[in-house]
Structure 1
Amino acid sequence: MEVLTLETPAGGIHAVRWRPETPSAAQSPIVLLHDSLGCVALWRGFPERLAEATGREVIAYDRLGFGRSAPYPGQLPTTFIADEARTTFAALREALGLERFVLLGHSVGGGMAIEAAGQYADGCEALITVAAQAYMEPRILAGIREAEAAFRDPEQLARLARYHGDRAQWVLRAWVDTWQTEAFDDWHLDDALARVRCSTLAIHGQHDEFGSLAQPRRIASRTPGPAAPSLLPCGHVPHRECPEALVAIVAAFLSHP
């Protein structure tokens, strides 16, 4: 494991690289994009497992404002999903010389991965979304409001602070407030999905509390395939709830993308 700080005009970006013990020849790395409350540390053991199972290097980074990266300058704009592809991800790609890559995004990171796959279609070899949202539906807001209520418990916010320090409250509000703005009432990724040209696997938990099964079906139906999503017997966080099954599905997909 190699820990890096990438200097960007907006500040330092914390990134980590995992290399497999037995790398496959000439395989492009997998870049992980985290969820709304996430960071590198919250992927836990998944990146290392994924590197060993696929024989590929795995790279994860903390978005600006999250984890060990520099603070975000102000409030998160409602364009943040599309912005990520042309800002921090673009800086990561340039700094690490990633001409070819695979993208794997969890939850809102899946939306960012879709945007990046479309914006850098010549470099993206495969796209994997995990528990991603492709359009606004009532279940998303219901899940956010339930989570917001749970975070009124100081112990819950303290757990978030273990990963984000004194920015835990900013991280929470960036998620809760942004998704409940009028700008997200009719939000969708249809235009971004139309730009994706690589093989795409949509993975979703059957009991996901932040998105119905219509979400991965929409992603699968509007990208080059497979035509059907891959469903797991879990909730919103497969890399924590059923990591072995998730790694196996991703490894199988990448062996024949």
Structure 2
Amino acid sequence: MTQITLAEHWIDTPDGTLFAQHWRPQNAPGVPIILLHDSLGCVALWRDFPERLAVATGHWVIAYDRLGFGRSDAHPGRLRRGFVEAEAQLGFAALRRQLEIGDFIVFGHSVGGGMAVGCAATHGNHCRGLITESAQAFVEDLTLQGIADANRQFAEPGQLQRLARYHGDKAEWVLRAWVDTWLDEAFADWNLDGLLAKVHCPLLSLHGDQDEFGSPAHPRRFTTLAAGPSVMRLLPGCGHVPHREQAEVVLAEVQRFLG
């Protein structure tokens, strides 16, 4: 059985401290897989997936809470257009610097997938592979409808407390950062087209065909516009969280992609 070493890290940034965690197999190759969480996520909400990913691939796996999420410090303001692209030069860059990470593979879920595109484009000389899962390449009506529906659900008694279990007193900020940013008219024509043209590393785009926050148009856009070799995998009967709903399938696809 693969032995996994678990460790926690605290990453310093100009705006606050970030929490990170790693899962490292014995004799792991030097290229880590860095996980970027979704709009309501954090390290804890990846659950057992990082460890399973480390076991399946043999790679060192690292996940971190972005500023404002999970165990990281509170965010000093509100998210604005450009926050997806900016993460590559903020928390992600700070993590690489402090943990002395050279080459890497980046794996992002939902909005974290968009951020992963930014990381692959910005740190292109060091990105060995990009994996997007349920990621959004542009603002789609289906995405906005899904967010509006979720916002109404979170207004029901007790629902915000579900977020507070993971984000503490930052829970309200986390919810509003997701809902208000995406539903803002200033965000309506946002897309990743320009960044995708700068992605030259291999790309794997995973997407459930029942994803309530985005149609298959997103992975098609990723694989069509990325400058490097790319492959799209549409997962039948799967919703927005493939690594939880169809973990074995996701792990198999990642193993195949990494070769």
Please give the range of the TM-score, normalised by the shorter of the 2 chains: over 0.9
CA contact (8 A) 2:200 2:229 kept: no
- 2:196 paired with 1:219: no
How far has the Cα of 1:232 moved from its partner? 1.5
Aligned to 1:23: 27
The 5 Å alignment of 1:193-208 reads 193-208=196-211
In the alignment, which of 166, 170, 175 is matched to residue 169 of structure 2?
166
Q: Distance in 1 between matches of 2:82 and 2:75?
A: 14
How far has the Cα of 1:23 moved from its partner? 3.4
How far has the Cα of 1:222 moved from its partner? 1.3
How far has the Cα of 1:7 moved from its partner? 1.9
Residues 1:23 and 1:54: Cα distance change in structure 2 (over 3 Å): farther
Residues 1:23 and 1:245: Cα distance change in structure 2 (over 3 Å): farther
The answer for unaligned runs of 5 or more in structure 1 is: none
Amino acid in the other structure paired with 1:244: E
CA contact (8 A) 2:84 2:115 kept: yes
Q: Distance in 2 between matches of 1:61 and 1:140?
A: 25
Aligned to 1:250: 254
Q: TM-score, normalised by structure 2?
A: 0.95
Aligned to 1:87: 90
Aligned to 2:118: 115
In the alignment, which of 158, 170, 175 is matched to residue 155 of structure 1?
158
Aligned to 1:14: 19
In the alignment, which of 39, 50, 62 is matched to residue 59 of structure 1?
62
- 2:60 paired with 1:32: no
How far has the Cα of 1:43 moved from its partner? 0.3
In the alignment, which of 237, 240, 243 is matched to residue 241 of structure 2?
237
The answer for unaligned runs of 5 or more in structure 2 is: 1-5
Q: Distance in 2 between matches of 1:235 and 1:225?
A: 26
C-alpha offsets along residues 64-121 of structure 1, whole Å, 9 cap, x if unaligned?
Answer: 0000001000111222101111111110010011110000000000000001100000
Q: Distance in 2 between matches of 1:189 and 1:150?
A: 29
Q: Distance in 2 between matches of 1:232 and 1:2?
A: 32
Amino acid in the other structure paired with 1:87: L
How far has the Cα of 1:229 moved from its partner? 0.9
How far has the Cα of 1:41 moved from its partner? 0.3
Q: Distance in 1 between matches of 2:218 and 2:184?
A: 20
Moved over 4 A (4+): none
Q: Distance in 1 between matches of 2:44 and 2:155?
A: 23
How far has the Cα of 1:203 moved from its partner? 0.4
Q: Distance in 1 between matches of 2:95 and 2:178?
A: 23
The 5 Å alignment of 1:36-47 reads 36-47=39-50
SS of residue paired to 1:19: strand
Q: Distance in 1 between matches of 2:188 and 2:164?
A: 30
Q: Distance in 2 between matches of 1:254 and 1:82?
A: 25
Between 149-158 and 92-101, report the one with greater CA deviation.
149-158
